[in-house]
């Protein structure tokens, strides 16, 4: 049997944690209250006893030590509400008389200061008292004064007060339970709303989650909607790829098939070239659609190391174009990760660098930058300049500005598609060395 089992709900977990903690803190506060109350009561009683002894001393000194002239008896009891004892050479006064068995031993001997008597057995007298004793001289007459308090009565008052404190603590605990229940219920309303939205999404009633969630749930709702968008994009890409292939491949295949099935028509060189051209177009279209179908787009949990992938691609292209220089400039830490799927980042960097390598004269520069809300990839070459009127057409599928350069004209179009899926932007401009500068921003 495990000590902690998997919680059935967030509400139950919060109550299981907060309620015992609240009860424990309340119980601790009640215990501390009892200790502090006992200490404060004792200190207060000791201070009162000292003050009353000082008052009696003042009265005795004013009467020159003559105890017969003092107003004792009921007067001191009514004023102080404490028992007292006074002793001189000529007389001993104890009030009330029932306390004599307790106070007489204190008058006869013992040090001055606070004294406590436990478990005393005297008829009509308390069993637990606190007394303050002081001895002094009035002229040549030694005098001893004692004032005492019944601790039993004090403890009963403290116990009553402590009991009321316990009752109030129980009421506060019940109020705490109610407040916790209401607070947790109100706090969990967004979760209930989100749960209902997920159920409606599962039933097909809605296609996106749109609930008024607190700030803590915004990333969750955003990621769920992003996942739904990614699934829709994949389905749309699959349908689009099938439609494109069906439209682009059906006619060339039918033409080639017709030629091959026509036994009366010989296959001369011109016809062979036409068939090879048609099959080449089919191959290009298949390659383009297959590459586009592999684009992942934004996905939760997918990321890439831009510096590592950039270095690997620059090393490979350096071998592919040994007469040209590929340079990397970046201030990113080595462990930097970008929220871009690894294959997508490879397609972006690879196509941009390969395109720049084909057109550059000697040098290709790659720059990777990252700010608080912006990620930027810049590729610059020193090849021939691109006219301003042609800048806007760059990246269109199949467009090639120079038929003499090898390629299908798909590289920048692929980059455009991937960047669009990530909600980014791509900009074309003239570089500092006269060639093309391509800037991709996410």
Residue listed under structure tokens 């720059």: 367
Mind listing the pLDDT tens digit for each residue in 353-376? 988 888 888 899 999 998 888 889
Q: What is the DSSP secondary-structure string of 24-51?
A: HHHHHHHHHHHHHHHHHHHHHHHHHHHH
pLDDT band at 378 (very low <50, low <70, confident <90, very high): very high
Q: So what's the pLDDT on residue 408? A: 40
- The stretch 41-63 carries a mean pLDDT of 82
Quickly list DSSP for 377-409. Answer: EEEEE-SPPPPHHHHTTTT-TT--S-TTSSS-S
Give 88 or 263, the one with higher predicted confidence.
Answer: 88
What is the spatial distance between Cα 53 and Cα 134, in angstroms, rounded to a whole number? 7
Query: Which one of 186-190, 225-229, 256-260, 344-348 scores highest in mean pLDDT?
Result: 344-348
**Tell me, what's the pLDDT at 204?**
72
Q: Give the SS3 label for residue 362.
A: coil
Whether the per-residue pLDDT at 74 is higher than 60: the answer is no
pLDDT at residue 366 in the model: 92
In the chain, the percentage of residues whose pLDDT exceeds 70 is 79
pLDDT at residue 157 greater than cutoff 70: yes
pLDDT tier at 404 (50, 70, 90 boundaries)?
A: very low
Residue 405 has pLDDT above 50, yes or no: no
Q: Is the peptide bond before 277 cis (omega within 30 degrees of 0)?
A: no
Q: Is 422 left (phi over 0), alpha (psi -120 to 50) or beta?
A: alpha
Placement of tokens 């201070």 in the chain: 47
What's the pLDDT score for residue 290? 63
Per the confidence metrics, is the pTM higher than 0.85?
Answer: no
Question: What pLDDT score was predicted for residue 350?
Answer: 87
114, 131 contact by CB (below 8 A): yes
Nearest to 248 by CA among 285, 293, 283, 299: 285
pLDDT at residue 300 above 60? no
Is the pLDDT confidence value at 4 over 70?
no
pLDDT tens digits along 105-140: 888 877 888 888 776 666 667 777 888 888 888 888
pLDDT of residue 397 exceeding 70, the answer is no
Structure tokens at 128: 């637990």
């Amino acid at each position: 049997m495990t000590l902690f089992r998997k919680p059935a709900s967030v509400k139950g977990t919060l109550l299981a944690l907060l309620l015992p903690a609240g009860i424990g803190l309340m119980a601790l506060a009640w215990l501390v209250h009892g200790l502090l109350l006992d200490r404060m009561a004792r200190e207060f009683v000791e201070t009162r006893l000292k003050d009353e002894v000082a008052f009696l001393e003042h009265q005795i000194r004013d009467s020159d030590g003559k105890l017969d002239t003092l107003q004792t008896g009921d007067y001191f009891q009514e004023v102080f509400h404490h028992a007292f004892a006074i002793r001189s050479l000529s007389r001993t006064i104890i009030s009330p008389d029932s306390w004599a068995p307790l106070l007489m031993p204190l008058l006869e001997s013992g040090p001055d200061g606070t004294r406590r008597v436990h478990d005393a057995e005297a008829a009509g007298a308390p069993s637990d008292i606190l007394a303050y004793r002081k001895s002094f001289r009035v002229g040549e007459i030694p005098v001893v004064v004692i004032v005492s308090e019944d601790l039993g009565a004090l403890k009963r008052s403290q116990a009553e007060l402590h009991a009321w404190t316990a009752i109030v603590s129980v009421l506060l605990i019940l109020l705490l339970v109610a407040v916790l229940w209401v607070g947790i219920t109100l706090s969990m309303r967004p979760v209930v709303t989100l749960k209902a939205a997920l159920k409606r999404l599962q039933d097909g009633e809605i296609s996106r989650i749109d609930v008024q969630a607190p700030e803590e749930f915004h990333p969750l709702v955003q990621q769920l909607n992003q996942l739904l968008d990614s699934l829709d994009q994949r389905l749309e890409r699959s349908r689009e790829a099938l439609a494109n292939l069906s439209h682009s491949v059906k006619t060339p295949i039918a033409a080639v098939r017709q030629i091959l099935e026509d036994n009366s028509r010989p296959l001369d060189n011109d016809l062979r070239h036409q068939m090879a051209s048609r099959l080449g177009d089919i191959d290009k279209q298949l390659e383009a659609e297959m590459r586009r179908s592999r684009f992942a787009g934004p996905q939760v949990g997918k990321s890439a190391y831009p510096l590592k992938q950039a270095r690997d691609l620059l090393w490979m292209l350096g071998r592919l174009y040994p007469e040209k220089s590929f340079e990397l400039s970046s201030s990113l830490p080595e462990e930097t990760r970008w929220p871009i799927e690894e294959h997508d980042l490879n397609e972006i960097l690879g196509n941009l660098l390969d395109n720049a390598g084909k057109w550059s004269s000697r040098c290709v520069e790659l720059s990777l930058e990252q700010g608080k809300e912006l990620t930027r990839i810049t590729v610059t070459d020193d090849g021939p300049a691109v006219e301003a009127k042609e800048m806007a057409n760059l990246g269109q599928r199949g467009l090639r500005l120079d038929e003499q350069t090898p390629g299908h004209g798909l590289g920048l179009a692929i980059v455009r598609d991937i960047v669009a899926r990530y909600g980014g932007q791509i900009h074309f401009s003239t570089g500092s060395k006269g060639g093309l500068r391509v800037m991709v921003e996410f």
